[in-house]
């Protein structure tokens, strides 16, 4: 009886774990999205071509690459394409993009160049009818729902192939409830290995995100996982059991790219030409 009880408990725990890491699969958009490699924050080439600049996005299109980009919601409802909330690293000013209007944003230049910080609509106009986008939602100050809604509304206006991703599962929950037809992905990594990348979350939340236990609520179509951390056991089981699409970031060499693509993963690359 004791052995039977232990076996039963193990079966129950296995089923619970299976539910916790559950993913969605078979989205028809993969037929297009899987055809491309994706330039991280555009196909930038510093210092001449800054990240997340129109020049970087034009270069990606010209080389027939897709692009990954980051989106923030500004105080006037416009959407800025930039990685950090703070403009200190990219534009040299100590201000946060969520506190700006589009008119104020236009005053700043990227990394000592003449390039402005683009609005999402400018990037979408460039990519319309061309290569696809991986759009990362970068919520701040609890605006996850408003950001997801505004981004989807903007994407609806343009004929662009895309998927959406975020570290914040609340963005994915909004997409699951309100826009289930959109390809959605959970961004993650082994946060314990990267103490500076806590995304503002507590230790328990970071542990849950690292091991993809929030999938039971969000049911993502893909997992975008840091390439150097991709030996995560939960990630391997997500692929084995649910055949979820894995996306690796950030690929910085041809060897890493070939390693990821051998496993059927999509790549987000930077600092090298994938075509050699």
DSSP string, 124-161: HHHHTTSS-EEEEE---TT-HHHHHHHHHHHHTTS---
> In terms of C-beta density within 10 A (0-12 exposed, 13-18 middle, 19 or more buried), how is residue 249 classed?
buried
Maximum distance among all alpha carbons in the chain?
75
Report the candidate in 19, 27, 36, 20 with the shortest Cα–Cα distance to residue 247.
36
**Under 8 Å CB-to-CB from 238, ≥6 apart: which residues?**
21, 23, 212, 215, 223, 244, 246
- Whether the pTM exceeds 0.75: the reply is yes
Strands 66-73 and 79-81: antiparallel
pLDDT of 68: 98
| pLDDT in single tens digits along all 276 residues of the chain | 788 777 777 776 777 777 789 999 999 999 999 999 999 999 999 999 999 999 999 999 999 999 999 999 999 999 999 999 999 999 999 999 999 999 999 999 999 999 999 999 999 999 999 999 999 999 999 999 999 999 999 999 999 999 999 999 999 999 999 999 999 999 999 999 998 888 778 899 999 999 999 999 999 999 999 999 999 999 999 999 999 999 999 999 999 999 999 999 999 999 999 997
pLDDT of 171: 98
pLDDT of 129: 97
In this structure, the number of other CB atoms found within 10 A of the CB of residue 159 comes to 10
Cross-strand partners of 249: 226
Active site residue 194: no
CB 67 within 8 A of CB 49: no
The single residue listed with the structure tokens 């319309």 is 128
Catalytic residue, candidates 40, 44, 72, 144: 40
Cross-strand partners of 250: none
pLDDT of 242: 94
Catalytic residue, candidates 44, 83, 144, 211: 83
pLDDT of 134: 98
What would the two tokens of residue 79 be? 């959407």
**Under 8 Å CB-to-CB from 107, ≥6 apart: which residues?**
none
pLDDT of 197: 83
Active site residue 178: no
């Amino acid at each position: 009886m004791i052995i039977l009880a232990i076996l039963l408990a193990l079966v129950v725990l296995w089923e619970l774990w299976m539910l916790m890491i559950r993913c969605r699969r078979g989205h028809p958009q993969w037929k297009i999205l899987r055809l491309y490699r994706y330039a991280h924050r555009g196909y930038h080439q510093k210092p001449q071509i800054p990240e997340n600049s129109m020049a970087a996005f034009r270069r990606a299109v010209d080389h027939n690459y897709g692009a990954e980009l980051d989106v923030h919601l500004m105080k006037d409802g416009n959407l800025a394409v930039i990685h950090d909330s703070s403009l200190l690293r990219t534009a040299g000013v100590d201000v946060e993009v969520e506190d700006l209007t589009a008119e104020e944003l236009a005053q700043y230049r990227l990394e000592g160049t003449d390039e402005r910080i683009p609005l999402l609509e400018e990037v979408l106009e460039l990519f319309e009818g061309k290569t696809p986008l991986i759009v990362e939602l970068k919520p701040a100050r609890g605006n996850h729902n408003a950001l997801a809604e505004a981004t989807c509304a903007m994407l609806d206006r343009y004929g662009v192939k895309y998927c959406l991703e975020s570290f914040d599962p609340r963005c994915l929950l909004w997409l699951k409830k309100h826009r289930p037809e959109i390809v959605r992905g959970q961004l993650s990594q082994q946060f314990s290995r990267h103490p500076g990348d806590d995304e503002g979350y507590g230790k328990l939340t970071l542990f849950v995100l690292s091991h993809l236990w929030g999938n039971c609520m969000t049911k993502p179509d893909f997992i975008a996982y840091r390439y150097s951390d991709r030996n995560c056991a939960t990630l391997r089981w997500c692929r084995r059991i649910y055949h979820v699409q894995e996306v690796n970031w950030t690929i910085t060499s041809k060897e890493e790219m070939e390693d990821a693509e051998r496993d059927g993963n999509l790549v987000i690359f930077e600092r090298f030409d994938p075509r050699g």
